[in-house]
């Protein structure tokens, strides 16, 4: 099928490559002329503008947006006047699901179709395929099935879940989750879970890294909690080897662990990283949904707040704590006299 792609960053460009490899015809546009030129050399049809892209697509058009969530609205405002009845817009980024609900209604009012496509797979998607969580009208989603099937990883060598009798496209790595907004809602929670998993691995490896704390001379003063049994913490552990052994037969085996093992093998002290961890919004939105639904999400909340702390956003509250301790007990911060 013919597909337009707007946004040719790491994800968008690799999606174009995967779709092209599957035999689809891609018309591509990006603000970067170099990005467009590169994919044109690989077989895609280049477009010089939104209008040019629309002219080169045959109606009913299918246009996928792989742009940052913050500019989706602007792109849609420019694109929609160029479209005609039954054209379809697909948002494959990480938009807020509530925005999808509103955009879906706006598109329907103008005779257009809107599909939200939560996309997981990152920079490895070209090789592994993309897990797709889709929201929108069933008729339109079915029409786009060749695109979703090409992007998804397929069944691969993953065996069927024991006891599962229902057959669906979920076993191929893509799923129509429900109406507008459902796809990005599922992807939002997926990313919230991702935060929690990543935080658990990170905290575990940090404990392992400090398993030799008993070998170091500790200060003995009123401001330092003494280590009760230093002899219990004398382990110099090889974190790269531990990550590797956990990859083989362990219940904590996962792709995230694979990536951790790879990073530790290449750089055991991870010295090239500052430890400043960003969040792109989905973790916050997941907690908002949990709050609205009255559902506890202790682990996801802690994982999100840990990312805030990594960016020194806890610095002032820690100063408040120090000020109170000095006030009620004359306690000075360590390193200050």
Q: Is the dihedral of CA 134, 135, 137, 138 positive or negative?
A: positive
Q: What is the DSSP string of 40-70?
A: HHTTPEE-SSHHHHHHHSPSSPEEEE-S-GG
Is 194 a known active-site residue?
yes
Q: What's the CA gap between 16 and 241, in Å, rounded?
A: 37
Residue tagged 């202790």 (tokens) = 298
Kindly give, in sequence order, each residue whose CB lies less than 8 Å from that of residue 175, ignoring residues fewer than 6 positions away. 132, 133, 134, 168, 169, 186
List the one residue out of 181, 63, 47, 198 whose CA is nearest residue 122.
198
Which of these is catalytic: 194, 209, 244, 333?
194
Q: What's the CA gap between 228 and 225, in Å, rounded?
A: 9
Q: What's the CA gap between 179 and 109, in Å, rounded?
A: 16
259: which DSSP letter?
H
Which of these is catalytic: 48, 142, 171, 187?
187
List the one residue out of 61, 121, 70, 128 whose CA is nearest residue 89.
61
- According to DSSP H, which parts of the chain are helical? 10-21, 33-41, 50-56, 72-79, 97-109, 125-128, 138-143, 145-151, 182-209, 239-246, 255-266, 282-293, 298-310, 315-329
- With H, G, I as helix, E, B as strand and everything else as coil, classify residue 198: helix
> What are the residue numbers of the active site?
187, 194
């Amino acid at each position: 099928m013919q597909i337009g792609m707007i946004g040719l960053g790491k994800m968008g460009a690799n999606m174009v490559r995967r779709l092209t490899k599957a035999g689809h015809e891609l018309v591509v546009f990006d603000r970067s002329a170099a990005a467009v030129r590169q994919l044109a050399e690989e077989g895609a049809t280049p477009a010089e503008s939104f209008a040019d892209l629309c002219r080169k697509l045959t109606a009913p058009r299918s246009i996928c947006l792989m742009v940052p969530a913050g500019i989706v609205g602007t792109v849609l405002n420019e694109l929609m006047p160029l479209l005609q009845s039954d054209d379809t817009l697909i948002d494959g980024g990480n938009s807020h699901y509530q925005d999808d609900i509103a955009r879906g209604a706006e598109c329907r009012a103008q005779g257009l179709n809107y599909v939200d496509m939560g996309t997981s797979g990152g920079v490895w998607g070209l090789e592994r395929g993309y897990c797709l969580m889709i929201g929108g009208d069933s008729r339109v989603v079915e029409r786009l099935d060749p695109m979703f099937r090409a992007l998804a990883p397929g069944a691969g060598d993953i065996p069927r879940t024991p006891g599962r009798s229902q057959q669906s496209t979920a076993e191929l790595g893509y799923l129509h989750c429900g109406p507008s907004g459902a796809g990005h809602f599922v992807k939002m929670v997926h990313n919230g879970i991702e935060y929690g998993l990543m935080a658990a691995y990170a905290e575990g490896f940090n404990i392992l890294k400090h398993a030799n704390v008993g070998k170091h001379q500790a200060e003995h003063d009123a401001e330092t909690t003494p280590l009760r049994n230093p002899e219990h913490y004398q382990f110099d552990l090889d974190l790269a080897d531990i990550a590797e052994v956990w990859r083989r037969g362990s219940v904590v085996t996962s792709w995230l662990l694979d990536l951790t093992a790879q990073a530790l093998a290449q750089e055991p002290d991870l010295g090239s990283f500052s430890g400043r961890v960003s969040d792109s919004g989905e973790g916050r939105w997941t907690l908002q949904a949990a709050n609205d639904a009255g559902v506890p999400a202790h682990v996801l909340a802690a994982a999100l707040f840990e990312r805030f702390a990594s960016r020194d956003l806890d610095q002032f509250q820690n100063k408040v704590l120090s000020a109170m301790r000095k006030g009620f007990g004359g306690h000075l911060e360590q390193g200050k006299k």
